[in-house]
Amino acid sequence: MKAKKTFYFFLFLLLISFSSFCGEGNKLGEILPLYSILPFVGILLSISFFPLFFPHFWHKRYPIVALFWGMVYIVPFLFVYKGTAFDEILHIIILDYVPFIILIWGLFTVSGGIIFRGSIVGTPLFNSIIIAIGTFLASFMGTTGAAMLLIRPLLRANEKRKYKSHTIIFFIFLVANMGGSLTPLGDPPLFLGFLHGVPFFWTCKLIYPLLFATITLFILYLLLDSYYIRKENLYAVLKVRSKKKREPFKILGASNFLFLLGIIGSVLFSGTVHMGHISLFSVHIEYQDLIREIATILIGIISLKMTPKIFREENGFSWEPMKEVAILFGAIFATMIAPLAILKAGEKGQLAFLVGGLNEPYQFFWVVGFLSSFLDNAPTYLTFLNTVLGHFSPDVPEKEAIKLLIQDNELFLEAISIGAVFMGANTYIGNAPNFMVKSIAEEAGVKMPTFLGYMFKWSIPILIPLFFLVGYIFL
C-alpha cells in the first residue's frame, strides 16, 4: 500500500511540474523543469542504497523498483507532452536501448562459449598480463567485447583467491573503460565522433594520456595485489602445487573468436556504409543499423547452437547478469530522456549553470567526465562536441568545423574525448560493460562493492587524483 501511495505521489509531483512548463515540443529541453530528472536520480539512488541496506529485497524485487521509476517518469511525460513524449520514448528505445541490449547480448553470448582450461593461477603478474591484453584489445574490439572475452578467464584464475574484488575493479578501470580510447571502435563516443567527421586515426593522439593513466594504475595494482597475495600466504600454496602435475593450457570453443569478429565487423559496417532508412512513426531506422542488429542476433544464436553446452556450464554461464542489465538499464534509459534533453538545450535549459561558462579544455574534460559517469557517454560527448563547434565555428558545416577545431583548438576535442572515455570508470553505470562485469563477477561468487562503495572506496580515491594529473599534464 505504501509503495502505491509513493508511486501516485511522484506521478502527481511530476505531472504538476511538467504542466507548469508545458510548451512547444520541438524545444523540449528548454521547457522541461529540473524536477523532471528526479526519476533518473531515483533509479541511481535505488541502485546505490537498496543493495546496501535491503539486499534481500533488492535481489528479489529490483525489476519492480526499475519499473516503478520508469513509470513515474513515463506516465506524466506522456500525459503532458503526448505525441512529443511518445516520439522521444520511441527514439530512445529503438535507436539507443535496443541496439545497446542486442550488442551486449551478442558479446555476452559469444564470449560465454569460450573457455580457458589449464593450471592458471591469479598471481599479480598473471592478472596484470590478462588486464594488459584486455586494455590493448579494447581499442580494436570495443570495451564491451574485450571485457566479455576476458572477465571469465580472470575469474577462473582467481577462484581460489580470498581477495579478488580489487582485481575486478582494476579490470573495469582499464579494460572496460580507458583501454577503448585509441580507435573509434573502442568506445561509442569516439565512434560517434568518427561518424560526425573526426578522422579515424585522430584518436591515436590520445595514446599519451592513455599510457600515463594505464602505467600509473598498473603500478598501483601490482603493489596492491602483491600485498593481498602475501596476506593470503598464497605463494606457499603455489610452491606445493608446482610440484604436482600441471594441466596444459587450452582454449575451447575457439570458433567463437570468429563470431566475435563477426559482431565487431557488423558494428564497423554500420558506421561506414550508408544505405538509406525506413521510418517507424517518427523514428528513422538506417538499413545498415538494422543489418547490424539482425547479424548480431543471428551470430549469437549460431554460437548457442554450435558451442557444446558443457563449455558454458564449465564457465558458470547463466542469463541472470544479462537479465539484470536489461531491466536496470531499461529504467536508466527511460528516465535519462529528461537530463539529456535539458543538456542539449545548453544555456537555454535548466542545467545552464552546468553548461555555461565553459571556456577552457580542462573545464570540458571535467564536465563531460562527470556527466559521462552517470549518463550515456555517447550523447554527452556529442552534446559538448556541438557546444565547442558552435563556440568556435558558428554557421560552419559540421565536418568543416571539426577540421578547423583539430587545426586550431585540438585540445578541446582531446578533453571531450578523454573525459567521455576515461571517466566512464567512475561508476558502475558509466560505461556499458561496467555493470555487466560486476554482475558476472557476483554470479561467480565475488563479493563486489555496492554502487557507492565502488565510488567512495575505489574510483574517487584512485581515479579522481589520477584525472587531476591527466588534466594538469595533458590539457
In the chain, domain spans: 109-474
278 Cβ contact partners less than 8 Å away, ≥ 6 residues apart? 284, 285, 287, 290
Q: pLDDT at position 438, please?
A: 92
Q: pLDDT tens across 380-423, in order?
A: 887 788 788 777 877 777 778 889 889 988 999 999 999 999 99
Instruction: Identify the band that residue 426 occupies on the pLDDT scale cut at 50, 70 and 90.
Output: very high
Q: pLDDT at position 181, please?
A: 92
| Cβ contact 123:313 at 8 Å | no
Mean pLDDT on 136-140: 88
Q: Residue written as cell 523498483? A: 65
Cα separation of 383 and 372, whole Å?
11
Residue 252 β-bridge partners: 115
Mean pLDDT on 113-124: 78
Question: Over 50: is that where the pLDDT of 82 sits?
Answer: yes
| Count of other CB atoms within 10 angstroms of residue 407 | 8
Question: Over 70: is that where the pLDDT of 20 sits?
Answer: no
Question: Over 70: is that where the pLDDT of 21 sits?
Answer: no
Q: Which of the pair, 474 or 340, is modelled with greater confidence? A: 474
Phi then psi for residue 377, to 5 deg, are -70, -20
Q: What is the largest CA-CA distance in the chain?
A: 76
Q: pLDDT tens across 161-194, in order?
A: 888 999 999 999 999 999 999 988 788 888 878 8
